[in-house]
Each structure stands twice: as C-alpha cells, then as structure tokens.
Amino acid sequence: MSSHFLLSKAARSLSLARVARLSDEEAFDTFRLVRWSATKGEPVCPRCDCAAVYTYKARKLWKCKACSHQFSVTSGTIFASRKLPIRDYLLAIAIFVNGAKGHSALQLSRDLDCQYQTAFVLAHKIREALGADADERTLAVDVEVDGAYFGGYVKPANDRENRRDRRLAENQTGKRKVVVVMRERGGETLPFVFRSEAAAVATIGRKVAVGSTIYADEAASWDRLHDRFLTKRINHQESYSTEEACTNGADSFFSRIRRAEIASTTISPARTSKPTAKRWRGARTTGGCRTVNSTSWLRRRSYGTR
C-alpha cells in the first residue's frame, strides 16, 4: 500500500529550515530563479516581455532595452512594493503552503515577527496568486465534484428565551456560501465559491474537459451535469463508495478545509471567496507542490509598480 503523500519526500520540497538558512543574496537568487524559471533566472521585462536588459551595478534593478522600463525582481508580482526582506516572503510562502491544516494570520505574524495586518495581507496575497493560477487550469478524465458550506456563523444568544432557530433563512446572515471542489483523480484540485451548488454547474462545464467522467453525490443540483458529461452518482445514505462511483477524494479535501477553518480561527465569506490556500493544500496532498516551481502564481493580473 502506498504511503500518504504528506509522508513522502515530495511533500518536503519547500523546507522552512532551508529557507531560513539562506543569506540575503541567496534569497534574492532563489526568488529570481522561481520568478524567471523559463529563462533560468535571467530577468525579463514585465511590461513587454523583452529579455534584453541593462543591469545596474549599484542597485538590484534592471532597465528594459526595448521599452526603457525599470524593474526589480518583484515588479509585476504580488510582492511588488514590498516592505519586508525577500527571505521573509519565501519564509511566508513556506509556512503558508506547508500548513496542511491552515495557518492563521496571527500565527504568521508571530512566525515572521511582523504586524498582524502585514501577515493578514501577505496571506491574502498568496491566496490571490493561487486563485489566479486556478483560473488557468482545467481538469480531465475522472473528476470528482462536491460542495460544502462555509462562513456566515450565527452565534447563539446567551439566554435560552432569546435564541432563534438558526436553520431558518430569516435567522441567517446571508453570508454563508458553498465551496464547490472539482478534483481530478491523481491530478489537480480546483475549488470555487458560489451562492449555491446549482450555480456551480456552468463553471464545472467550463473547467472540466468534454468527454470526462464526473463523480458526484445524489444532490439534485448535480442532475444537470448529466446533460454534458457521463455522470456517475453515489448515494451517501447507502454507502460512501461503490464499484461504480465515489467522491472520497472531494470529501477528503473538505475534511482538510474543515480543519483549516478551525486552525485559522474563522473562515469569513470574504476569505472563503478566495479559498485558494485550501486549493494549494489540496494540491499538495495529491500532486505535490508543482505550483511553487512555476511562475504563473507570482504574476499579478494587472501589472503594478515595483
């Protein structure tokens, strides 16, 4: 029987100890290699993609020969306008992505000895980058689909006579949302946030390749998937897995998210709207941290300043 992914060597590809031992110069070179992996660390203008650049001797800056744009190693990435040393960002990424069950911003602020707000924004930036990466990906062959509700917690009143039935729509905050995950067997995991499971069907149609087989539970929201895909259903009231179908992969993803919800204290609707950190963790538990070696997660959607 194969061991769990987190027990394997592949799960230790981004070590906190290794990052912590880097000098400033080594951290800079590491970041440069990650960012411009296609050119083996050689700078490329973020504005016009030109590889011909002037190098400044005194400062760690480059100037594009084509468009004269001056840029640094973080220009055009989520770390543009950075205040912390580059090593701290590498540390933040290592801490964040290795926390398979979540890592709160408060804990990150203690780890990095920075203010809570700095850690909070940093964690969100990493989530945003991972989310942007998810936008570009599609799944194929065998894909499990499932949904789970997060956020919008209503605290029960102290006195019994003041308590209301929190199951009724009028007593809810309206902030509760459903995270729908698409999980390719042996491959990628893509979660998205919707108001309801039914609202996810169009996105599933876009993200899953034609000809794939979808595995889903008996929720009525998934009935429409039969129009587009060969869809196999599993009735969880009878069994969790049959020869025909199971959604155990998607369920194990949500098991992680539930633990992350506890570990990071709260998952507010604002945070569930970018459940990308969980996607990362999901990816790590199945396919390893491929994403850390690619550059797309570093890219901002719109180009910013240095």
Residues that bind Zn ion (CB under 5 A): 45, 47-48, 50, 64, 66-67, 69
Query: Smaller CB distance to Zn ion: residue 20 or 48?
Result: 48
Helix (H) or strand (E) holding 64: strand 62-64
d(CA 268, CA 174): 12
Query: Smaller CB distance to Zn ion: residue 25 or 49?
Result: 49
Shortest Å distance, C-beta 43 to Zn ion? 10
Nearest CA to 247 out of 203, 214, 278, 215 is that of: 215
Query: Smaller CB distance to Zn ion: residue 52 or 209?
Result: 52
Query: 287 with 187: CB under 8 angstroms?
Result: yes
Tokens, residue 3: 């061991």
Query: Smaller CB distance to Zn ion: residue 194 or 303?
Result: 303
Shortest Å distance, C-beta 75 to Zn ion? 11
Tokens, residue 252: 């194990």
Amino acid, single-letter form, for residue 106: L
d(CA 34, CA 75): 14
Query: Smaller CB distance to Zn ion: residue 48 or 106?
Result: 48
Chain centre to alpha carbon of residue 33: 21
d(CA 71, CA 64): 8
Query: Smaller CB distance to Zn ion: residue 46 or 282?
Result: 46
Query: Smaller CB distance to Zn ion: residue 50 or 61?
Result: 50
Which residue is listed with tokens 């042996």? 186
Query: 32 with 43: CB under 8 angstroms?
Result: yes
Shortest Å distance, C-beta 44 to Zn ion? 9
Shortest Å distance, C-beta 63 to Zn ion? 9
Shortest Å distance, C-beta 76 to Zn ion? 11
Shortest Å distance, C-beta 51 to Zn ion? 10
d(CA 186, CA 165): 42
Give whole-number Cα distances, 84 to 81, 89, 115, 238, 261, in Å.
9, 7, 11, 54, 28
Query: 218 with 244: CB under 8 angstroms?
Result: no
Shortest Å distance, C-beta 46 to Zn ion? 8
Query: Smaller CB distance to Zn ion: residue 68 or 296?
Result: 68
Length of the chain: 306
Q: CB-based burial of residue 115 (10 Å sphere; 0-12 exposed, 13-18 middle, 19+ buried)?
A: exposed
d(CA 69, CA 65): 8
Shortest Å distance, C-beta 67 to Zn ion? 3
